[in-house]
Amino acid sequence: MVIGTGYGGSVAALRLAEAGVDVHMVEMGMAWDTPGPDGKIFANTTTPDARSYWLRTRTKQPLSNFLGFPLDKDVPRHTGILDAEEFGGITVYQGRGVGGGSLVNGGMAVTPRRENFAAVLPTVDAGEMYGTYYPRANAGLGAATVDPEWFETADCYQYARVGRRHARRSGFPFVFVPDVYDWDYMKREQAGTATRSALAGEILYGNNHGKKSLQQTYLARAKATGRVTITPLHRVTSVAPAAGGGYTVTMDRLSTSGDTVATKELTADKVFFAAGSVGTSKLLVKLRANGALSRLDGEVGAGWGDNGNVMCGRANHLWDPTGALQSAIPTAGIDNWAQGGAFAEVAPLPTGIETYASFYLSITKNPHRARFTWNAAAGRAELNWRTAWKQPSIDAAKTIFDKINAKEGTIYRTDLFGAYKIWGDHLTYHPLGGAVLGRATDNYGRLKGYTGLYVIDGALIPGNTSVNPFVTITALAERNIEKIIDTDL
């Protein structure tokens, strides 16, 4: 059994099936294979509806305000695609559905610089990762870089060219990064010969056409083996050793309003936890605390980080427009990791109007790590992250944007995250850690204390990857599952 259908789980399912193993994948979210009343599977970013949020009655958009007006609105409670899960000091955005985070991210398929890798995964051989597993992951994901000649003239990337100009004038490297979008499709979107998707602002709540999510890549190949079954709208609540060997897995079947309509049990020989950093960590600390898996190591729950995420916007001059038409798929960044500890994604602000604004999601070298624990009285897992721990991320991002503002004579936007608030320091898109490789598990994701239990998702990575993390999650899963198949199966 594989719990979750995100990057790590999809890799595990495919490779196990190719090795002749029958795999059952359980996914808490929906299948996202049926169009809604508008004929589209996914809702548009600018017009959220019931499809947009996981069991919320009001949206919680990363950019909560614009030009002084609040953006959030009431929506019907539904098992929608984006979970804005709130803990004490942070909101964690996660994809809900078959394909996990690949459904809702920007698709930036970034491989960390090799010189940074030892700080990302210190117990993993970098030569193997860069020689074998990163190339395998990028091929499996369909990562490719935008055509640089087309980029120079495309209206939809005017905002990125402005970002490049400002970065270079302040002495910062501007780098193209791969993405998993179908670039030929985007060219047709720009030319008016294909239905607009990225150019219609589709990103936060799914993309209807050009994006190569896991549904189109790893999961499609896994299902084609005939050995993989995927069950959506099922939430695993317990995993415990079975009397006859293997593990008894208990799960609730959910309605689209989030109610439990049935409870099921089945037995699996081996169980792979792939519910994402938060989902895996929450489940494991619960199972250790309630005795179902009492021998789990004390490191389970520890080492959680936010990949140093912090957001900001800059107000440009009227002679520096960023374009009313903006592709929702980012394709470049500003790399100041070596000097300032920050990599800044030049992000879109696809409002459909000219904003004269540059917008960024920064990934920073934030040292703070939190821990998940189980609160038995409240019946929930808790995370001890503190909002104040974002200050190192803000300081790192300022090494880029204070300098750009000084050079350009521009200022920060104060209307995007609330009244007079410059920094989006309340969230992360990149949860990592909670079952760290070589600490809660052995060096290939085997959970300590139990034979046949594995972690194979972002929970293995200790809090930071220096860039967008999903290529690293995928590559690490490719490495680990290869070893597990060779030695455990």
Q: Give pLDDT, residue 338.
A: 95
Within 13 Å and on the Cβ side, how many CA atoms surround 183? 19
Say whether 383 sits in a helix, a strand or coil. Answer: strand
State the CB neighbour count (10 A cutoff) for residue 407. 13
Q: Which residues are catalytic?
A: 345, 430
Instruction: Tell me which range, 68-77, 113-122, 412-421, is most confidently predicted by mean pLDDT.
Output: 113-122
Indicate if the pLDDT at residue 66 is higher than 90: no
Average pLDDT over residues 216-234: 98
Tokens of 273: 């936890």
In whole angstroms, give the CA distance from residue 461 to residue 449. 20
Confirm if 32 and 206 have CB atoms less than 8 A apart. yes
pLDDT single digits (tens) 423-445: 999 999 999 999 999 999 999 99
Beta bridge partners of 263: 252
Confirm if 26 and 3 have CB atoms less than 8 A apart. yes
**409 pLDDT band (50/70/90 cuts)?**
very high
Indicate if the pLDDT at residue 85 is higher than 90: yes
pLDDT single digits (tens) 32-49: 999 999 999 999 998 999
User: To the nearest whole percent, how much of the chain has pLDDT over 90?
Assistant: 97
**163 pLDDT band (50/70/90 cuts)?**
very high
Q: Give pLDDT, residue 11.
A: 98
Q: Give pLDDT, residue 419.
A: 82
Q: Give pLDDT, residue 173.
A: 95
- Maximum Cα–Cα distance across the chain: 72
In whole angstroms, give the CA distance from residue 352 to residue 419. 23
DSSP assignment of 10-25 equals: HHHHHHHHHTT--EEE
Q: Give pLDDT, residue 320.
A: 95
- Nearest CA to 404 out of 165, 157, 152 is that of 165
Tokens of 365: 């070298």
Indicate if the pLDDT at residue 69 is higher than 90: no
Tokens of 234: 């099922």
pLDDT single digits (tens) 250-309: 999 999 999 999 999 999 999 999 999 999 999 999 999 999 999 999 999 999 999 999
Average pLDDT, the chain: 97
In whole angstroms, give the CA distance from residue 269 to residue 258. 29
Residue 473 has φ and ψ, to the nearest 5°, of: -60, -45
**454 pLDDT band (50/70/90 cuts)?**
very high
Indicate if the pLDDT at residue 65 is higher than 90: no
Q: Give pLDDT, residue 418.
A: 87
- What is the DSSP code (8-state) at residue 198? G
Average pLDDT over residues 97-103: 98
Q: Which domains does the chain have, with CATH numbers?
A: 1-42+81-142+212-308+370-379+426-489 (3.50.50.60), 145-202+309-365+391-425 (3.30.410.10)
Confirm if 363 and 307 have CB atoms less than 8 A apart. yes
pLDDT single digits (tens) 120-131: 999 999 999 999
**H or E segment at 339?**
helix 337-340
